Amino acid sequence: MDLKQIKQIIDLMKRSELSEFAVEEEGFKLKIRRGSNGQPMVSAVPKGSNTPFIPESNSLPPIPTPAPIQIAGPAVATEEPGIVYIKSPMVGTFYRSPSPESKAFVDVGAKIEENTLVCIIEAMKIMNEIQAEAKGTVLEILVENGQPVEYGQRLFKLKQG
């Protein structure tokens, strides 16, 4: 296993919630585990050796500690009087309609209720229907169709009422 493959495994761990990875290949053992601080702890045993190899800190890219997830409150936040933002409840890909040929769930100027389906966010090949959770009129759509979105990212701007 070469350094490029190890970096790819670390990159995979960065993009997922994977906390431990181990592989054994032709007498070579590699184990990567997130420490309590979120940083990788790498140990490898080369062929014909019982002594673990721990690479220097600058030989592998650091794995950033993920930001803490905020659970308090709904996915709707108010910052301006009478204005509400519908925020993404997850990381994924934003879609305004159920298929490319279909009409968008909502457009600017649409009046919506708390349970109105406003978009779909695809995460890990699962289509998640997102409801408004607020009543109002759509003033602005803040994300382009097919664009990746982050947890808490603003998707729609609404005028309450």
- Consecutive H or E run containing 12: helix 3-15
In this model, does residue 62 exceed pLDDT 70? no
* Reported confidence tier of residue 12, pLDDT bands at 50, 70, 90: confident
CATH of domain 76-160: 2.40.50.100
Q: What is the mean pLDDT of residues 116-124?
A: 90
pLDDT, tens digit, 9 for 90 and up, residues 13-44: 777 777 777 777 766 677 777 765 555 555 55
- Cα-based distances in Å from 59 to 6, 36, 149: 11, 21, 31
pLDDT reported for residue 125:
84
**pTM summary value:** 0.51
Give pLDDT tens digits for 74-106: 455 446 788 889 999 999 999 999 888 989 999
Per-residue pLDDT at 105: 92
Q: How far apart are the C-alpha atoms of 121 and 147, rounded to whole Å?
A: 10
For CATH 2.40.50.100, the residue range(s) in the chain are: 76-160
